[in-house]
Amino acid sequence: MNNLPTQIIDLAIRIQQIPAPTFAEGPRGEFVRALFIKEKLKDVSMDSSGNVFARLPGKQKKAQALVVSAHLDTVFPASINSQIKEEAERIVAPGIGDNSIGVAALFGIIWSLRERKIDLKHDVWFVANVGEEGLGDLRGMRGVVERFGKGVFGYLVLEGLALGHVYHRAIGVKRYRITAKTAGGHSWSDYGQPSAVHELASLITQLTAIRLPRKPRTTMNVGTIGGGTGVNVLASEAKCELDLRSEDPNMLAKLVHQVEELIIQASRAGVKIVAEVIGERPAGAISAEHELVQLAVKCSQEQGLDVILTTGSTDANIPLSQNIPAVVMGITTGGGAHTTNEYIDINPLKKGIESLVRFVELAGEK
């Protein structure tokens, strides 16, 4: 199938043109389900969350299965201009790399296996899941792992722009929505009374003054902030969203404790500060020597790729946190992720698909 990369790109563009913001992936999921049916895969279904499942049967009926997944959702709202720009060596469009090309690669693997008449010993479940981005909190993959439990030997998670990277360690993440509330008032006549905006700003200053270690890498980010009703009004309410991450679960726990202590201390007479947990991605890992990690490295190196073993926050967090082996592999290279100028490189795509097909063929052979 010499034109396989072109077919995958064409499908990725069709997928990208269907809006799929987190919590509204339904139309894209229905499109993928119809394609699974067209490919005559077995047990095609969609669960209550919107995850789409299909099984490619292997020769050994009692063998444990491999799950190959790619997330459907994108960070962009349905209103985004989804225009495609096709350049000589790249495709530019919001969401094309994260993760339209990843979803299209599910079908690229299927097409290639069939074209080469590769008979797998084990079943492969292909899954297009919801809720990977932002406040989706990996809810789709939580449902996938709950469905399969320990009945699979591993997960291969596809991320469009990660070619040459093999993720086998999952970063722990905790997210809060912090709200400051006061009585509010007039900026002149009530001057001296607390303003929710001022109180929240003061708290953010204290939070971001916490010293974070470089090793283990640990980060903090206030991603959104808002509040108040007018320039001459003492705000009665203000909110922000806070993202905490660390490679080390113990370091994350320590940071969480520091943050929560400052939040508690920020409340006083006339000022109420409350924090709501809006996301929690558990940490986990498998050894670099694990057979799935070594296989991912081998299959990538066979294509002449330089491989980097790395850590990330992906759908793989869920199986890894439950001691189920999982690796993340990429489809191609690119850049501008989560911007309207996101792009994928065309030429590396062939190597990416070849490495994935080889992985699916050899996984579980022992």
Residue extents of the structural domains in the chain? 4-170+283-362, 172-281
Beta bridge partners of 92: 85, 343
Three-state DSSP class for residue 292: helix
Structure tokens that stand for 232 in this block: 């001459």
Task: Work out the number of other CB atoms within 10 angstroms of the CB of residue 9.
Answer: 21
Q: Can you give the pLDDT of all 366 residues of the chain as single tens digits?
A: 568 999 999 999 999 999 999 999 999 999 999 999 999 999 999 999 999 999 999 998 778 999 999 999 999 999 999 999 999 899 999 999 999 999 999 999 999 999 999 999 999 999 999 999 999 999 999 999 999 998 999 999 999 999 999 999 999 999 999 999 999 999 999 999 999 999 999 999 999 999 999 999 999 999 999 999 999 999 999 999 999 999 999 999 999 999 999 999 999 999 999 999 999 999 999 999 999 999 999 999 999 999 999 999 999 999 999 999 999 999 999 999 999 999 999 999 999 999 999 999 999 776
What is the SS3 assignment for 5? helix
Farthest CA pair distance, the chain: 80
Please give the structure tokens belonging to residue 110: 């299927």
Give the residue ranges of DSSP H helices in 17-152.
Answer: 26-38, 101-115, 139-148
pLDDT at 2: 61
Question: What is the pLDDT, as a whole number, of residue 62?
Answer: 77
Beta carbons within 10 angstroms of residue 308's beta carbon? 12
Task: Give CATH for domain 172-281.
Answer: 3.30.70.360
Q: Which residues contact 235 (CB under 8 A, 6 or more apart)?
A: 182, 184, 195, 196, 197, 198, 227, 228, 229
Per-residue pLDDT, 275: 98
- Say whether 254 sits in a helix, a strand or coil: helix
| Residue of 35, 30, 199 lying closest to 108 (CA atoms) | 35
Residue type, 315: D
> Are the C-beta atoms of 223 and 215 separated by less than 8 Å?
no
What pLDDT, on the 0 to 100 scale, is given for residue 60?
85
Q: Kindly indicate whether the domain formed by 4-170+283-362 is annotated with CATH number 3.40.630.10.
A: yes
HSE value, Cβ hemisphere, 13 Å, CA-based, for 206 = 15
Helix (H) or strand (E) holding 263: helix 249-266
